[in-house]
Structures are given as structure tokens and as C-alpha cells.
Amino acid sequence: MLSISTMVYRYCRDNRNCDTEPEVDGIIRILEDNLRYNCKAQSDGQHDLILMSLKAIGNTGHATRAVSTINRCFRNQDISVEIRIAALQAFRRMACVVEVGCAM
């Protein structure tokens, strides 16, 4: 996942409207689907998948479609601090124009 997300980041760096391309959108959709609704894992395997997906989303820097899901993740107090921190870090490469909804 991290390798693919890095490829997306590098591709999008040179192609401004990459988020509208079906291939990039499909990759982001898969990563977002791994997060479920609010990153609540039912098993250790799901926990690891959610954590890796959040890190991959952060690598892409072009996951505006996943912003509301990521917001629900970092606000979810029923999940591990590790996942909540990864959710916050997922915003690290996103453009400042993305509304992250940090008001709590």
C-alpha cells in the first residue's frame, strides 16, 4: 500500500487534476473503504489494515474524498490512540484548501 500511495503522490505532483482520474480515484476509494465508517477495527488484522491505509492516504496527499471518513476516525474515542494519530497524520500532504474540520 505504501509503495502504491507513493507512486500516486509522485504522479499527482506532475498532474494537477489527478484526483479526477479514475485510476487515482479508485486507489483512494479502496484505501478509504479499508477505514470502514470510523476506523473501528473488529480484529487485530483489521487494526493493522486501517493503520496502513491511513498511512497510505497520508502518502498520497490527494485524498480529499476521504476527509470526512478521516475526521470521523480521529474523533472516535473508542479506537486506539495509534489509529487516531495516524488519522491526523493522514492530512500531512493535503493542500491547505482541504477542509479538515478540526474544530472539536
Q: What is the pLDDT of residues 53-93, one digit of tens each?
A: 999 999 998 888 899 999 999 999 999 999 999 999 999 88
**DSSP states of 4-33 as a string?**
HHHHHHHHHHH-TTGGGSHHHHHHHHHHHH
Residue with cell 479506537: 79
* 22-59 pLDDT, tens digit each: 999 999 999 999 999 999 999 999 999 999 999 999 99
Domain residue ranges in the chain: 2-89
Average pLDDT over residues 8-25: 91
CA distance 93 to 82: 19
